[in-house]
Each structure stands twice: as C-alpha cells, then as structure tokens.
Amino acid sequence: MNFAVFASGNGGNLQAIISALRVQKIRAALQLVVSDRADAYALVRARKAKVPTLCLNPKNFETREAFDRAVLAHLKERRIDFIVLAGYMRLFSHHFIRSYPNKILNIHPALLPAFKGTHSVRDAFQYGVKVTGVTVHFIVEEMDAGAVILQEAVAVGPKDTESSLARKIHRVEHRVYPKAIDLFARGKLKLTGHTVKII
C-alpha cells in the first residue's frame, strides 16, 4: 500500500517512520510527505530520505475545502491509499475526511478521550495526572474522537517537568506509531463500530 505523511513541524514521528521503513518494520511505501509550512523541518527529513514532498500554502486558497481539494488531487496522482498524520496542525474539511474514510491515522500525546486538543501534554501535566500516554487513532470529523487503534501508558514521575514528560511521550510515540501503521497496511485492523481489533 502507498501512504503519505502529513507534517507541519519538526517531523520527529516522520523520522521514526522513515527509520522503520528502512528495516522493513512497516510493510508499505511512503510515496509523499505533505506540509502546509515551507519552513517545516519535516520537509528536510523527507528530502534527505529521498521521499517526494508537497508544500502548499493555505493562504493561497480561498477556503479550507479548496486547499484540501488541491491536496487530494496530488494524493490521487500518487495513488495514495492511506494517510498518516505526524504533527499536522491543520483541521481537515469534511470533504477531505470523507475522501479517505477510516484511512487517516493520527497520533495523540495523551490517552484519549482524556486531554483532547493541541496542548494535551501541558494539560495533563498541569492537571497532575500520574499516568498519561499515547494514542493512535483514526481521524473522523469530530476532533480527537476516532476509534482507538493502539494506546500505551506513560507514567508521570515526581521529578518530571512538562519538557521531560514530553520527551518520554515522544519516545513512546516513535515506537508505537510505526507498529500501528504496519498493522493497518497489512490489513490486521478490523473496525467494528467504534472498536478496533487486531486480527
């Protein structure tokens, strides 16, 4: 299967995916890295790995849907079967999500449904939880509400800071995400209602 990674920032998870592909821990083909930011370091990582890139500026489009349709045209051209989000900070239009139903994976730095949104590490730390974690889930039209594929807990230690907790979470993300992508690519995930089973 062919897939694309969408990233807006540093691309730490993208690098973990590229590394997993090199040792055949993901049995799929990364055909495109997409970004909405020209300065995203993820694009540098992609080019170093000789992965084609696409960078479109949302400001050049009148609406979110117009931007998404332009991206979709590139995905169709590259015959992309599924999408992996790796720190992509734009919300998708309904049209985009309906174009790839249950074929868009995302990783979230908390144990959903707790601490949804873009500041989940900070929110969990400030709340004072003793355990947080990582969730890989499908994207649906409601934010951070798709069916859970994999989760792994991360303990919050008494000496942790928000920064040290973020680093611990990222290490888990880099291990869990390639595993989830490979399971999806090999048809090992069965979605029934809101429940995902590994088969």
As annotated, the active-site residues are 108
What's the token pair of residue 176? 């869990």
| Structure-block tokens of residue 59 | 């400001």
Q: Nearest 5 degrees, angle CA 110-CA 188-CA 43?
A: 55
Residue with tokens 């992965």: 51
Query: Among candidates 148, 197, 184, which has minimal Cα distance to 2?
Result: 184
- Report the amino acid identity of residue 119: H
Name the H helices within the chain: 12-22, 41-48, 64-77, 94-99, 120-127, 162-185
Residues 6+ positions from 157 with CB-CB distance below 8 Å: none
